[in-house]
Amino acid sequence: MKFFFSILILSIGQLFLLSANEKRLDKDGSIRIVQLLRQENSVRRYPDALPSLLKMLNEQTHAKFDTDPLFIDTLTDERLFENPILYVNCDEQPNLEFPKEERDALRRYMELGGFVYLDAGIKASFLGADLGHSYAAWEERPEVRDLFSLVFPEKTFIPLGRDHDLFRTFFRGLPSNKDLKIQSNQKRLPETVLTFVEREKWPQATYSFVGLKVKGRLACVASPICAMGWGRDEFGAWIPPISFRIRESADNFDDDLKLASFSGSTFEVTREDGLKDIIYSETGQRPLWVKEPNGKWRIFKYYSGEEISNYAHAFYSRLGMNVFLYALLN
């Protein structure tokens, strides 16, 4: 099934390219991802991530991507229009303020069929300058909202439903022991972690994505940072290590956390249902706990280790591959 699906994806991707740039496909035969890097000497966030993901795509599907992203420093670069997918790691950009010419070019690109993936386009406010954390908020970060209010004033980002095709374009479901290349009886994750992941964090291998449609087509998606989960070293080991933030409850938390000692600030974060979680966080520290709209209090616990990291990488990579393959279908 996957085999035929792969061929379909490749064919559609090539059709897109043919219409966009026939000459290029004739010569290369592979799809090149354009990556925006506005400052060449800026600090890169996961520089090996995208090439590593594209290599995995080539190995695990029948799609053919050039594993070298084509870097551009301005959206007016004519080469952008020769390629169907633009990848932007929002954490790598000095800012998301673009001059009018670039905003116009971005609009034109999306109207002509280009797909824009804004990695780290979602970022909860309480994370501040901490680039090492992601948080599944369900709204685009303010800078992205400001930018697109100028690019497409008539449009807004909307959350992608858990049943969206993007989440099952090629890979379906969360990584199994077989996917993780571990023995069938080995614990994938600690029990509380696995339960939370399966039910709340990444149900059916979905994640908090928001998207923007242009001419009825999903032309742009934004997600919390996913690139951190795409890197593999030459021996196939995942890099860098990733930890999990899990919400955990206990019998007495609804009473105890209400009264427990706390100094710090609270932050409101939009949930999938549009309601707000109230995050309790102390300066310079990871968030402590959360009060949910239904009045339930839960504590944040942090898990790290090989199994956690491997699982997170496997998930982010499958998700990333789904996004790029979905982009080709659109």
Partner 1 sequence: MKIVTLFFKILFLSKSFSQVSPSSTFEVLDGNYSNLQGQEQNGSILTQPKRSSLVETVDRAGLDLRNSDVGVRVGAAKLLGKYRITKSSFLLVGALDDQSALVRRAAVVSLAEHFSNGFYIYDKPLVEKIYSKLADPDVEVRREVSTMIPRLISGLMRGGVEVVEINGRRVYRSVPSSLRPDLLTMTLQAFLDEDAIVRQNTLKYHNYLRVPLPLQTLEKLLNDDDLGVLLTALERISTNASHGSIVRLIQNLSSHKDKGIRMKVIAVARDANRYHPGYRSTLRKMTQDTDSEVLSMAAVELARFGEKVQPSVIEKIKDYLLSVDGMSTQVTTILYAVSALGVDGVAVYRALTEHTSSKIRSIAWQRYISTSNGWDQVSLWMPALKDRDKGVRKAIINSLGGRTIKFSEAELSLLVESKFSDVRIFAAQNLLNADLETVSSLGFDLLIDEDTIVRSTTIRAMSTMRVPGWVKVMTRSLLDSDYVIQRAAMDGLLEDRQKGVPALIEYLSKNPQSRISNLAIIELNKIGIQL
Q: Which residues bind partner 1 (CB under 8 A)?
A: 27-30, 48, 51-52, 54-55, 58, 64-68, 181-183, 186-187, 190-192, 233-237, 248, 250-253, 256-266, 278, 285-286, 288-289, 291, 299, 301-307, 310
Nearest approach in angstroms of CB 30 to partner 1 is 6
> Would you say 150 or 194 has its CB closer to partner 1?
194
Nearest approach in angstroms of CB 161 to partner 1 is 29
> Would you say 112 or 288 has its CB closer to partner 1?
288
Q: How far from the centroid of its chain's Cα atoms is residue 307's Cα? A: 21
**DSSP sequence for 198-243:** IIIISGGG----EEEEETTEEEEEEES--GGG-EE-TTS-EES---
Burial classification of residue 120, based on how many CB atoms lie within 10 Å of its CB (0-12 exposed, 13-18 middle, 19 or more buried):
buried
For residues 155 and 275, the answer to whether their CB atoms sit within 8 Å is: no
Nearest approach in angstroms of CB 3 to partner 1 is 19
> Would you say 219 or 328 has its CB closer to partner 1?
328
Nearest approach in angstroms of CB 188 to partner 1 is 10
Burial classification of residue 199, based on how many CB atoms lie within 10 Å of its CB (0-12 exposed, 13-18 middle, 19 or more buried):
exposed
Q: Which residues contact 113 (CB under 8 A, 6 or more apart)?
A: 16, 19, 20, 84, 217
Nearest approach in angstroms of CB 121 to partner 1 is 25
Best CA proximity match to 223, nearest among 324, 79, 306, 72: 324
Q: State how far the Cα of 56 lies from the Cα of 218, in Å rounded to an integer.
A: 24
Amino acid at 114: G
> Would you say 186 or 294 has its CB closer to partner 1?
186
| Ramachandran angles phi, psi of 303, nearest 5° | -120, 135
Nearest approach in angstroms of CB 32 to partner 1 is 9
Q: State how far the Cα of 111 lies from the Cα of 154, in Å rounded to an integer.
A: 14
> Would you say 41 or 285 has its CB closer to partner 1?
285
Overall size of the chain counted in residues: 330
Nearest approach in angstroms of CB 36 to partner 1 is 16
> Would you say 107 or 301 has its CB closer to partner 1?
301
> Would you say 181 or 217 has its CB closer to partner 1?
181
> Would you say 216 or 294 has its CB closer to partner 1?
294
| Ramachandran angles phi, psi of 141, nearest 5° | -70, 155
Q: State how far the Cα of 12 lies from the Cα of 167, in Å rounded to an integer.
A: 18
Nearest approach in angstroms of CB 146 to partner 1 is 24
